[in-house]
Amino acid sequence: MLSGIKVVEICGIGPGPFCAMHLADLGAEVIAVERAASMSITGEANTPSNPMNRGKRSVVADLKTAEGRETVLQLIEGADALIEGMRPGVMERLGLGPQVCLARNPKLVYGRMTGWGQSGPMAHAAGHDNNYIALSGALYHSGTAGEAPSSPITLIGDIGGGALYLAVGILSGILNARATGQGTVVDAAIVDGSAHMMQLMQSLARGGLIGEERGKSVHDGSHFYATYRCADDHYVTVGSMEPQFHALLLHKLGLEDDPRFAKQWDKQRWPQMRAHLAEIFASQPRAHWCELLEGTDVCFAPVLSPREAVSHPHLVERGVYTERDGVISAAPAPRFDGKVVEPGPIPRRGEDTEAVMAALNAGDPASAWRS
Residues 6+ apart with CB under 8 A from 65: none
Name the strand (E) or helix (H) holding 273.
helix 270-281
**Which residue among 25, 80, 129, 158 is the active-site one?**
158
Helix (H, G, I), strand (E, B) or coil at 248: helix
Measured between alpha carbons, how far is 23 from 170 in angstroms, rounded to an integer? 10
Measured between alpha carbons, how far is 173 from 185 in angstroms, rounded to an integer? 8
158 in active site = yes
Cβ proximity of 58 and 351 under 8 Å: yes
Measured between alpha carbons, how far is 132 from 109 in angstroms, rounded to an integer? 25
- Scored b (16 or more CB within 10 A) or e, 42-76 reads eeeebeebbebbbbbbbbbbebeeeebbebbbbbb
Best CA proximity match to 125, nearest among 84, 85, 154, 87 = 87
Total H helices, total E strands in the chain: 15, 11
Helix axes 66-77, 353-361, angle to 10 degrees: 70
**Which residue among 128, 219, 276, 312 is the active-site one?**
128
Measured between alpha carbons, how far is 228 from 234 in angstroms, rounded to an integer? 9
Q: Say what the alpha-carbon torsion angle 76, 80, 85, 88 is, to the nearest 10 degrees.
A: 80
Q: How far is CA 305 from CA 230, 293, 308, 311, 327, in A?
A: 15, 19, 5, 10, 14
Q: How far is CA 325 from CA 319, 322, 333, 351, in A?
A: 18, 10, 22, 19
Sheet hosting strand 225-229, strand order edge to edge: 225-229, 235-239, 300-303
What is the distance of C-alpha 316 from the center of its chain? 21
Cβ proximity of 238 and 225 under 8 Å: yes
- Catalytic sites, residue numbers: 128, 158
